[in-house]
Structure 1
Amino acid sequence: MTRSYQHWINGAEQAPSSGAYIERTSPAHGELLAKFAAGTEKDVDAAVEHAHRVHTSGAWSNVPASERARLLNKWADLIERDADRLAVIEAEEVGKPIVYAKGEVLWSAELTRFAASLAWQIPGEAHTHLGENKLGLVTREPRGVVGLIVPWNFPMVCLFQKLPYALAAGCPVVIKPSELTSGTALEVAKLAAEAGLPAGIINIVTGKGSVVGERLTRHPNVSMISFTGSTRVGKQIAATAAQDLTRVALELGGKAANVVFADADLDAALDGVLFGVILNQGEECVAGTRLLIEESVADEFVSRLVERAKKVVIGMPLDEKVQIGALIHEGHLESVLEYIRIGQEEGATLAYGGQRLTDGELAKGLFVGPTIFTNVKPSHRIFREEIFAPVLAVTTFKTVEEAIELANDTEYGLGNGLWTKDVDKALNVSRKLQSGTVFVNTYLESAAQMPFGGYKQSGYGRENGVDGLLEFMEVKSTFIKLGARTPVLPNTLD
């Protein structure tokens, strides 16, 4: 049955002012999955108006932090209760395997619980040693209405690395999900209402970024934009927001390297490298799409990696055995195949994969399996540019210094991994890697307490951890003079 959705504004469904809807077909089999309201500037204005009213009235920010935490925890309970249903929606709309979609939903609930815990301990300071009759207070206040713009690849996780933190800080939000994968955002908004979160603090307007995202970024009553997506679009948002000095947080593209030293646990590294490039079909900003492997073990490692790649299960998203699903849309598939062609033309060796898969039930969908290139040079485009697919570029190195130089030879800086049994080497190399996250002897594994964000062209600002809360808060200094009034100017009347 096709799912049909409207906007979610002020705690209720609202039909689009245009009367138009966007259809989402399955990238795995081409059948119609859902219809989403095609938002207009008028719809965005309505959502922002309600959120702004909540902010100016203090209807959410004045709620005790302990009560905000209680409601967020209740919301997390409901997300866990409906995890199976939400995972199906996520898997179908994105094309990702259901096993990963379920994990994404449960991780979103976990992030909500952590954000709730932070609401209890919003930091403040009192400075009591400034001199006689002087007191200084440092307090933190919610920024105001926050626009959350999230991508299609991880609709729930990318949203929940922002949303519960903004709410814990006391900010109402207007969400613009991807027009391709809006289902779970709208479903969890209904669960928030069921949990008792007040109307108007979560508002969702679906539709095109050129309309909904553009208006949200320019709206005078939006105090902050938090965006996850491509570096190209992130720069456009930053430029637009700069005209009104709207605060912006950006989590953008990446070209992460997995650096494997000869002294690593190679079996563990094989699993980590393969997982790092196939998770979510490689449609992930922190995917480990560059393998930097020490030359002395490179041939053996790549040979074993190819054998493991052959065992990866590719298929329909709702099959629990599947490890790679379908790419998001036809245009992206064509882009991926073009990069594979470019890699061969530039002289890299296609060691495995590299074709669109059309056998059996895969014929109706947009499938590309694990693809491994060897003999990749830093000048090659597949080494430098984000492909957003399960395409791995393998480059060898001889020394630690060369490995660090290769890992940092990119405009991006979101994440990197390194594999070694030498603790000193692990610490020294991790310090020199120019990325917001470094995974050591694992990949794509972290904790809610750990901030996430990028260096260089991978953006600025942080999500998760305490920093994820503070992104949504303004800092205020209050200097208080106590006791009798002291003249500012000397008495000249004597």
Structure 2
Amino acid sequence: MRHYNNWINGQELAPINATFIERISPADGTALAKFPSSTQGDLEIAVEAANKLHLSGAWANLAASERAKLLVKFAELIEQNCEFLAKIEAEEVGKPITYARGEVMWSAELVKFAAALAWQIPGEAHTHLGENKLGLVTREPRGVVGMIVPWNFPMVCLFQKLPYAIAAGCPVVIKPSEYTSGTALEVAKLAKQAGLPDGLINIVCGKGSVIGDGLTRHPDVKMISFTGSTAVGKTIARTAADDMTRVALELGGKAANVVFADADLEAALDGVLFGVMLNQGEECVAGTRLLIEKSIADDFVAKLVERAKKVVIAHPLKDESQIGPLIYEQHYKKVLEYIEIGKQEATLVLDGSHPEGEDLAQGYYVGPTIFTDVKPEHRIFKEEIFGPVLAVTTFETQEEAVQLANDVEYGLGNGLWTKDIDKALQVSKQLQSGTVFVNTYLEGAAQMPFGGYKQSGYGRENGVDALLEYLEVKSTFIKLGQRTPVLPNTL
């Protein structure tokens, strides 16, 4: 079993109350790790360390090119430790290790991209404001940033925030999920090894009701970046409003994959299945609604069911595993409850609620589950299930497809499949979501911003926008040369 302490000011620090949270494997019930169950006192020490570094200017005033060099070293160390980090990620989350490896390497890529952005933090000089007048627009680090990270993608969700804040010059205090804190604590050690200064990355483990709430209320925390449920995001926004603390929220989703009859159907079959099964469906942008043109629906769904039956459900540390267990018992029961709700609302054509297998008996496993005849008023159409459960709804016109896709409160992502470029552009423009995938799903690039419309939050991660989230804009108006008298000269 791995035993961790908090990471504060460049070193491990035991929690003040000396109490810990034990993480049990969702795959087989074995004990994996112990994480601190921290208190407000632990948080105060971490924020003080981060704020001290910020006020000293040792990081904020360091040339951005020097910050970039250290970030590149950090990325290289993450890559070198990929297998070690992936194993922790797979065990704690329950995700297949092949996907965990990819996520670790992707996190390193995000660090490299943020390092490149550090070289070009934007600034402007306005030299045509009039005689002897100069205007400067500069961007400064916001200060201490609190980061609250979810359990489903502990590394990716953290690294869609962390390297951009560091590149901008901000120290951070991270509250990882109490279920999946391991990789955050391990990469903090790698950051120190890379030469990043003490106090820049601080990690305080514990319950969200204590540490997350404390971060949001702390007067020295100037920004909160949160990934998680819409309900919690709204609470954070309300709390942060008291001190006008800047908030960036990446929240829930109920994405649709819209498949038109003129699509490459073989590619669409793979994309739709991947979109709902990746990470056991525990993903905010999972494609859990299939909107399919009625003329091809029966054949498409029949083929989809056959492919879904071949998905390998196995222990996450097995290389052949494509679906692992859900995160913990309470969530497992919630997903099973939604499957029962779906049975009352629609037609069940593939039931993955109790997959068979000797290795699966002790874990929280749910396989791909598919419902047809799903209507917009059904709960499985509207509500985020966070499991590998697909709701299939048919449409007859392009306008109906768009209306169905937008008929949810969320707007994080959507996908569409068609060979008609005009249709692709028209529909993507009409879809109310921060990301639209065309003829692919869950594929992107570091240069592309990620975030939501509607109840899926505000603010952006990745791309140049991610860097700008952590920078304050300042205008400086300068009068040069001659003095302008305040009162007329009457002497």
TM range (shorter): over 0.9
Residue 449 of structure 1 pairs with residue 450 of structure 2 = no
> Deviation digits for residues 89-140 of structure 1, max 9, x if unmatched?
0000000000000000000000000000000000000000000000000000
**Amino acid in structure 2 at the alignment position of 1:370:** P
SS in structure 1 of the partner of residue 361 of structure 2: helix
SS of the equivalent of 2:188 reads helix
Q: What stretches of structure 1 of length at least 5 have no aligned partner?
A: none
The equivalent residue for 1:129 is 128
- Determine the structure 1 residue equivalent to 2:426: 428
Aligned residue number for residue 9 of structure 1 = 8
How far does residue 488 in structure 1 lie from its aligned partner after superposition?
3.4
Equivalent residue, structure 1, for 2:375? 377
Matches within 5 A, 1:285-300: 285-300=284-299
SS at structure 2 position matched to 1:55: helix
Cα distance in structure 1, aligned partners of 2:488 and 2:54: 44
Counterpart CA distance in 2 for 1:252 and 1:53 is 31
**Count of paired positions:** 491
Which residue number in structure 1 is paired with residue 319 of structure 2? Answer: 320
Q: Report how far residue 275 of structure 1 moved.
A: 0.1
How far off its partner does 1:79 sit? 0.2
Please state if 1:481 is matched with 2:479. Answer: yes
| Aligned residue number for residue 461 of structure 1 | 459
| 1:54-86 Cα distance to aligned partner (Å, 9 max, x none) | 011101111111110000000000000000000
SS of corresponding position for 1:383: helix
What SS does the aligned partner of 1:439 have?
strand
Quote the offset at 1:361 in angstroms: 1.4
Does structure 1 residue 331 correspond to structure 2 residue 337?
A: no
Q: Distance between the aligned counterparts of 1:344 and 1:379, measured in 2?
A: 15
Displacement of 1:427: 0.4
Aligned to 1:274: 273
Paired position in structure 2 for 1:22 = 21
Q: Give the structure 2 partner of residue 343 of structure 1.
A: 342
Cα distance change of structure 1 residues 137 and 355 upon mapping to structure 2, 3 Å threshold: same
Q: Compute the displacement of 1:357 (Å).
A: 2.7
1:197 corresponds in structure 2 to 196
Measured after TM superposition, the shift of residue 339 of structure 1 is 0.5
CA distance in 2 between counterparts of 1:419 and 1:400 reads 12
2:37 corresponds in structure 1 to 38
Shift of 1:354: 3.9
1:296-330 deviation digits (Å, cap 9, x = unpaired) = 00000000000000000001000011100000000
User: Which residue does 1:405 correspond to in 2?
Assistant: 403
Aligned residues with identical type, % of pairs = 76
Q: How does 1:35-434 map to 2 (within 5 A)?
A: 35-346=34-345, 348-434=346-432
Query: Within 1, Cα distance between the matches of 2:165 and 2:3?
Result: 28
SS at match of 1:61: coil
Deviation at 1:258? 0.2
- C-alpha RMSD of matched pairs (Å): 0.7
Deviates more, 1:348-357 or 1:368-377: 348-357
CA contact (8 A) 1:139 1:477 kept: yes
Q: Per-residue deviation at 1:34?
A: 0.3
After TM superposition, where is structure 1 displaced by more than 4 Å over at least 4 residues in a row?
A: none
Rounded to whole Å, the distance in 2 between the matches of 1:197 and 1:355 is 46
Secondary structure (helix, strand or coil) at the match of 1:279 reads helix
TM-score of the superposed pair, with normalisation by structure 2: 0.99
Please tell me the residue identity of whatever aligns with 2:193. E
The CA distance in 2 between the partners of 1:489 and 1:158, in whole Å, is 58
SS of the residue 1:122 aligns to: coil
Q: CA deviation at 1:358?
A: 4.9
Superimposed CA distance per residue, residues 196-235 of structure 1 (whole angstroms, 9 cap, x where no aligned partner):
0000000000010011111111000000000000000000
Assess if the C-alpha contact under 8 Å between 1:26 and 1:92 holds in 2: yes
Q: Secondary structure at the match of 2:364?
A: coil
Deviation at 1:356, TM superposition (A): 2.5
Conserved? CA contact 1:356–1:366, under 8 Å? no
